[in-house]
Structure 1
Amino acid sequence: MASILHIDSSPRGDRSKSRKLAKEFIAAWQDLHPDDVITYRDLRQTPVPHVTEDWIAASFTAPEALTSEMAELLKFSDALVDEFLAADRCIFSVPMYNFSIPSNFKAYIDQVVRVGRTFMEENGQVKGLANGKKLLFITSRGVEFEAGSPYKGWDSQEPALRYAFQYMGVTDIQFIHANGLDLGDEARKRGLDEAQSKIQKLVNDW
């Protein structure tokens, strides 16, 4: 029995393609692993606050030196970190916004990249503490990035996600991209069909 963390980040509801694809993956996964425990978080319903100067000061304060006000500032972050660290596998659905990630998921990342919790410094080197888990990002993207595309090299989404979680020690990171969703009906269908095909394959191999 595994612990699964599923997070949706699109501000859209039923119209969201990234949510729909992640839901398909979760449903197929549950069919194969009915005993797994799934924790769900919707960043549309529970927005993540952006960090502040006071939050940063609290996050770099030793636990035994935290004031009650500092502890309160970190309370939501602590809950997110505990949730993330407890998961064996994470499925994050993240749409592409302006070639990168939406601000709510960037705020989530800023809340879980925590010194002493998800990374530490050792002999002048950063050591990730969130080892041994698997991450899957399911994304929706309006354009395509393959060779010949005018947007080749413009993808700031996958690198931002990959490096943030690698920094915390996660090495098993996979992506399923639904590309070209704003390029007309044919491209949209192709992008969704390819993503769904990859979902069906990965759900059996992950």
Structure 2
Amino acid sequence: MTPDAGTEQADQVAQTGAEESLETPLAERVEAILLIVDEPLSLVALAAAVHAPVPAVRQTLETLVADYDGRGSGPRRGFELREVGGGWRLYVREDHDDLIAEFVGGQAPARLSQAALETLAVIAYKQPVTRGQVASIRAVNVDSVVRTLLARGLITELFADSETGAINYGTTDQLLEHLGINSIDELPPISPLLDDGADGFDEGVIR
């Protein structure tokens, strides 16, 4: 097979895969992406992810919002779709905050992994910090670790960046209680190690 023939075959496979994915209803593709994002996704980025025009995705989002709110033929859902900081993301409804807190608090305590400890240390010393910035410092994907820390109540979402929509994270009072300190300022100083934002975290400062 010649190089040109190989390239042509690869292009045909890629095109076939894209065409097959587009056979799935747009609403399903949008929901699939929204279920896995940890930060609000812009309309343009979402449209690119589902291979659909921006106007069509915007209309789909409006339809999903109405559906989740019970304005369609079905009941209201326990979650909602909101636009925050210029991006879209699924959230648990505030009505269920107490239920979620009770569920999370009732889970059997487990020791944090080394990866979770290191990620928690980065957030503690660099807060407010986005998930992308934490991933850059640790040079690994931290999506699942951040979800674990959120579920354990050790970190919280502070605010969404007004320009990018990225969520900024910080530590909670619960973490202070676990560490036996009154303020995050009581953590051991490591400022000399923060010149490049990477040193000082691999050893898991918080135990």
Give me the TM-score of the superposition, normalised by structure 1. Answer: 0.24
Larger Rg: 2
Which structure has more relative contact order (CA 8 Å, sep 6+)? It is 1
Instruction: Write 1 or 2 for the structure with the bigger share of strand.
Output: 1
More helix by share: 2
- TM-score norm. by structure 2 comes to 0.24
